[in-house]
Structure 1
């Protein structure tokens, strides 16, 4: 052994001794010194470990290391997970266990992210809430009919649910964030398109739409069902009072709402309906969209919920409205800085992004520009008109197409 090697001290070895104790919340600042209290717990745990046989001790340490890894990675942005997937098989297995995402929900670490498919693109793109980070999803292994046809997109938990028509039938593709893969899901109980939908935690709700009858003709339906991302199953709900297509859905104050659309006679509906999970029943809301302008072929109502308030982007006048649920009336909050009326509401994204409203479309201030602009605002109905801020540093290196085919927000 050389003299230099002799001077190198042996590395210190530390023993993780707590087996079942919960990790502290790293986001809470302690107001007292816990060092002395912790020493007693450590000594007790050491005594417990020495009384265990080797097999039990190894199991305890393995369990602790697993819980520790989950707690650490739950604090990391989910945009980094795909990179960490290349580290080793162990992290991939940890990610697929869904424990990381469960802990993120329980600890309040979840963040909204935006999934978007623009015209001319073959893959969905995932953005963070500030549109500073993005990554492209794998291509859906479907046929050309699915790619070029109309599709509906909604999230449920960490699943992205996309419904569309392939050559033979209506299908559902499910993207799982945990494994970064598309899977052809089990079919809806009543396969259909052009329905209203809304996410609520790990569930997604679906109502109405157009289904193909046995004779090949289209039929407007009033059926409803829900998808659970934990069990990956579909469950039927009670039917709505009205048949409707091209309508919109949202979750407002604990209930699933369906607004507008057209009935089986292609007549525009001004009524809405709310669904109560406890009673499995629908309540008809007459004149919920009374006074709104309807054009054909107009997009479904562009709606979003922030802080338990329902907002609507009136596409004909490019105006923002807020709903008074008690008076069943709408209040005008001013003009939105996008050209939503350019294609009667189609090609524009209007979503809730945490405590903000998000709108993506052609800028009214730059009518000559064919690219999309991203605006956000923090709505407050009591303050009246909203102040919109443009995201001028949106995804450097990515040019958003002038027409958005699908857009939804996931909380993960």
Structure 2
């Protein structure tokens, strides 16, 4: 690219921060087309940069000269392609599905994942909350402030899968949902760039596993596998899903067989915590996986002193700023883990009724530097819609309710599945 083209690129990229909100507003109104406008250079006028402005005009004249058009055609096309990516990288991901309907070029741009790569490079990655609540037939994805949302297409599965228990995790731009169809366990993958559901296969299909996402990968450990003769078996096998290659890779098996456990990433390591073994014995131990050595380390007594019941949900855990937090459903309290002492400290109550169904129906996640809890509000017992609260963890936990979230959508307070995608 010539100096003149590079100068144009710089000026146009400076304008991208002004163009992006306009395009996002157009997308949010579901306009069928977007008419790109050339930037008004007069709006960028600065007396102290008058000479630079004259050079820019001269460069434009050169590039539009018929004699130079052939030589500059590739550079201009590349410049506009880069500008498109820069602009759309600033648009909310909840609007990206509409790009598939603009034209073939935009659809290919989205499917190339270049937009998501640029978002990471520019530090524009944001959390998006995917939720499936009681009575719904579709997943709903929310922006960070819960004001922007949309419902995903229905999963093209059978009735057994729709109304049965499901588990989910995000990896990169993919939402993984695992459950049981009439004849077998099945994996469905939603691709944000394609806005469609695709059936997939794990190496060892299972449910009631521990899972956690880390960048573009998702990790799975333990769970219940259904053998060929239909007998459920608690397993200790583990595997990893790579959303970049859409492939599954086996990992070293854990020391313990466990089901109904929880997974998380803490200080660069994948953990599986709690659950029950093949003899229905509750496990207070955890296990830590090291990718470099493909090995597990057993951690005794991570949940020592906690109360367990047969109908209780897996541990409700979240990680914020490399600290592990647990929502203790019996008392509706948040606890923080001291890794050095292998002990938990009580930080106070949460504003949802986690104890109403033994921990089921409540979402407890991390969103950036905040804890997120969603469920039935303790302050409004008769309210049948979900309430959303966030809190920056500290010695004095102060929960803030998002009172203006989800305008235009009413979701049941019982959250069946919830996960967070960072993209």
The TM tier, using the shorter chain, reads 0.7 to 0.9
* 1:297-376 paired onto structure 2 within 5 Å: 297-376=311-390
Alignment deviations for residues 134-187 of structure 1 (CA, whole Å, 9 cap, x no partner): 1000000011111111111100000000011112211111101112111112x1
Q: Which of 250, 256, 273 pairs up with 1:259?
A: 273
State the match for 2:45 in structure 1: none
* 1:122-133 paired onto structure 2 within 5 Å: 122-133=137-148
TM-score between both structures, scaled by the size of structure 1: 0.88
Secondary structure, in 3 states, of the residue corresponding to 2:240?
strand
Structure 1 contact 74–101 (Cα < 8 Å) conserved: yes
Q: Which of 365, 377, 386 pairs up with 2:397?
A: 386
* 1:8-407 paired onto structure 2 within 5 Å: 17-18=5-6, 57-185=72-200, 187-380=201-394, 384-407=395-418
Secondary structure, in 3 states, of the residue corresponding to 1:242?
coil
Could you tell me how far 1:48 is from its partner in structure 2?
11
TM-score between both structures, scaled by the size of structure 2: 0.86
Alignment deviations for residues 210-237 of structure 1 (CA, whole Å, 9 cap, x no partner): 0011221100000011001010000111
What is the rounded CA distance, in whole Å, between the counterparts of 1:260 and 1:393 in structure 2? 36
Could you tell me how far 1:260 is from its partner in structure 2?
0.3
Could you tell me how far 1:82 is from its partner in structure 2?
2.9
User: If each structure's helix is expressed as a fraction of its own residues, which one has the higher value?
Assistant: 2
> How many corresponding residue pairs?
388
Could you tell me how far 1:92 is from its partner in structure 2?
1.5
What is the rounded CA distance, in whole Å, between the counterparts of 1:100 and 1:110 in structure 2? 11
What is the rounded CA distance, in whole Å, between the counterparts of 1:210 and 1:269 in structure 2? 16
What is the rounded CA distance, in whole Å, between the counterparts of 1:179 and 1:159 in structure 2? 10
Could you tell me how far 1:396 is from its partner in structure 2?
1.5
Could you tell me how far 1:376 is from its partner in structure 2?
0.7
Structure 1 contact 304–350 (Cα < 8 Å) conserved: yes
Structure 1 contact 94–100 (Cα < 8 Å) conserved: yes
What is the rounded CA distance, in whole Å, between the counterparts of 2:303 and 2:213 in structure 1? 22
Secondary structure, in 3 states, of the residue corresponding to 1:345?
coil
Shift of the 87–263 alpha-carbon distance from structure 1 to 2, 3 Å rule, reads: same
What is the rounded CA distance, in whole Å, between the counterparts of 1:175 and 1:279 in structure 2? 31
Structure 1 contact 272–287 (Cα < 8 Å) conserved: yes
Unpaired segments ≥5 residues, structure 1: 1-14, 28-32
What is the rounded CA distance, in whole Å, between the counterparts of 1:42 and 1:321 in structure 2? 62
What is the rounded CA distance, in whole Å, between the counterparts of 2:227 and 2:8 in structure 1? 56
